Structures are given as C-alpha cells and as structure tokens.
Amino acid sequence: MAEMTDVFFVDGMRTPFGRAGEKGMYWNTRADDLVVKAIIGLMERNGDVPKDRIDDVAIAATSQTGDQGLTLGRTAAILAGLPMTVPGLAIERMCAGAMTSVTTMGASIGVGMYDLALAGGVEHMGRHPIGGNVDPNPRFVAEKLVDPGALNMGVTAERIHDRFPHLTKERADRFGAASQHKVQAAYEAGKIQPDLVPVAVKDAEGAWGLATEDEGRRPETTVEGLATLKTPFRPHGRVTAGTSSPLTDGATISLLAGADAVKEFGLAPKMRMVSFAFAGVEPEIMGIGPIPSTEKALKKAGLTIDDIGLFELNEAFAIQVISLLDHFGIADDDPRVNPWGGAIALGHPLAASGVRLMIQLAAQFAERPDVRYGLTAMCVGLGQGGSVIWENPFFDGKKKRK
C-alpha cells in the first residue's frame, strides 16, 4: 500500500534567460528545445537517478501553441532521451506554471503514487507573446466579470499603486535598481552560473554561439535614471520598464523525489516541501495574489511570516513585491528578500519562473544553515497568487553571527 511521504526538491537547473524578440539570443531557437536542454543538463548532473524510474514529467507553458504545444512534458521527455516508458503532461497557470508543475508532481509524490518526477516550465515570449493566440469569452466584458484592463499586466500593476498610495513610485524605483545591483553582485560572486545549462544559439546571419548568461541584466541602472523613464501603461503613471520584468525567453526544470527514492539512490536533497497554496483575487489587481496564497501556505504549515528566513519573490513588477512586503510588515530592503536579485534583472519567462525561484532559494539554503524555512511566491495573471514553503535540510539551529 502506498503511504504518505516527504517531498524533496533534489535539484534544479535552467537555461540562461534571453531577451524576447528578434534581437534576443533565442530568436532562432525553438521553445521545446530550450526545455529539452534543461532536462538533459539536469539528468546529466544527477547521473545516479535511473531515467526509467522517472514517474512523470510536467512542463508548463502559458501559450500552449506552436513549439510550446503538443503535450510539452511528453514531447520534451522523448526529445531529451528519456525512455518511452516515461509519461508526461503539460500544465498552464500563466506565471505560476512551473510552480504548479512542482506542486502537482510534489502532491503525487507526497501521497505515494510517484517516487521521482521532473517539473518545470518554458516560455518563448518572442515567438508567443502573452495573449497572442487566445480568444477570451465575450461574457468576461459583456457581463462585467473582468475589466478589460485586467488582461494587461502593467495596468494591473498601476492599480496597486492606486489602491495603496503610500507604495510610491520612488520606492518601486529603488527596488528596481536594487534588483539589478544584487543580480550583478551574485554573478560576480559566481552564485547563479552553476545552475545554468549552456544553450547553443544561432544568430540572424547563421553564426553559432553559446548562451551562458542571462541576457537582460542592466547593472548600470541607477535610481536617478529610473525616475526619468516613460510610463507606458498610463500617462503620468508609476510603472516603468525599470520596475517591470522584461519580456523573456527561457526554460527551467527540477527533480523531485520522495523519501524512499532519496534513500534508494543516495540522493542529497536541497529542500523539503513544507506546504503550498494558491489563491484568487480580483484580476484587476492580480499583483496582490501572493498575499492570500502565502497566508494560506503559512496556515497549512503551522508557521508565521516571522518563521521565514529567506524570501524568493517573483518580481513581475516592483510594486507587486513591495505590496506583499508592506502587508507583512517587512522592509523593502530587508536582506532576507531576493538576496541575489530577481526577475526585474533576470527576466520573467512566465510559466518557467516558479522553478527559477526554487533554484535560487535552494542555493541560498546551502549557504545559510541558520535559516530553517524559505518562501517562493509569485503573482499570477487573471488574479491569482502561488506560494510554496520549503525547509532547509542544512539547518543547524544556530543563529547567524553578525
């Protein structure tokens, strides 16, 4: 009989993230090839895991069409060289796609149905702009179920500023600049590169190269410079390119395991899943979604926000992160929050981003035995939030020395 078991994040890797569009490094690279490269890299790094023992492969994409369609988990598994006996599926929860891949596979492991699973996501926003191939039901507008502006993420970010006037543009600008500087410092310290899978790319002239770093970083960013940027979502608005995540291409993948599989294959997990939750909010202010999902996840875990020692919060927009921090009484510049920067600098390839948060949290856990619990959380289009709480297997119960 299957029994409930702990769920472990064994490892995670991702492609470097590229700028979307014709000038981006992945313009001539297929979306499914990005996730295939990530799977190959992860399986090579975890060579003690037999490929035929993977119980399922869940790959998320927001725009499930073209080279992001055709049951991505199954097709990517085949293309990555996993045995034909390994099944796969596709998942779609907009920005929280990869996060949902992890929680879905994690739940399957937790109830004893699976031993090992791969979970991740991919988004080629250059080939497939968000909402580019969808046909929303006219009832949404006709019956005033959702304001038309709710489908424009930048407009929803402006509305958080409207609702909370004390969350000023100046605070968002400071947060945006800090994200760029923290990412650059993490790169210079070699923190991010170990979990990147190099990808062969071809430019417009047909010349081949190798993508080894995230392409969208702007370390020269200053608060003064951000103050001068245009506000594309509203005249005299507060949301700018400098306080928003750029349009991005990239893929992420993680290896999850139950306690028996960890023991059987001698694995060294990087995190243990404690709880997860998703929540819905008004689509017009989707950015506050992680607030109720985090409250639900904390309640499920029997924890409070004070128990969380590290936060990896997706920076879809600076205002979205600041609104969560403000709700929980955490300073904008709290060192526990996104210590290596976030999506404003690295990019946000929609359905892929959730596992990027987990990869960074896992790497930070290894450096911080004084931290027991960490949170990965993100806002989700159409008014949702997603949160996963993790436990650090390296926790030693000792307070960090100042």
CA pair distance 114, 359, nearest whole angstrom:
22
Give CA–CA dist 120/39, Å, rounded. 9
CA neighbor of 320 nearest in space, from 181, 159, 174, 170: 159
Residue 263 CA to residue 6 CA, distance in Å, equals 12
d(CA 156, CA 159): 5
Does 95 qualify as catalytic in the annotation?
yes
Taking the C-alpha atoms of residue 306 and residue 329, their distance in angstroms, rounded to an integer, is 10
Catalytic residue among 124, 128, 161, 348: 348
**R_g over Cα of the chain:** 20
* Kind of pairing between the strands at 384-391 and 271-280: antiparallel
H or E element that contains 230: none
Q: What are phi and psi of 37, to 5 degrees?
A: -60, -40
Which residue out of 95, 124, 128, 161 is catalytically annotated?
Answer: 95
The answer to whether residues 261 and 269 touch, using CB atoms and an 8 Å cutoff, is no
Copy the structure tokens of residue 260.
Answer: 């028996």
| Region of residue 81 (phi > 0: left; psi between -120 and 50: alpha; otherwise: beta) | left
Single-letter amino acid code for the residue at 235: P
> Could you give the maximum distance between any two Cα atoms of the chain, in Å?
63
The SS3 call for residue 9 is strand
Q: Catalytic: 161?
A: no
Q: Answer for the pair 196, 212: CB distance below 8 angstroms, yes or no.
A: yes
Instruction: Report residue 226: phi and psi, to 5°.
Output: -65, -30
d(Cα 60, Cα 347) in Å, to the nearest integer?
A: 17
Which amino acids are annotated catalytic? 95, 348, 379
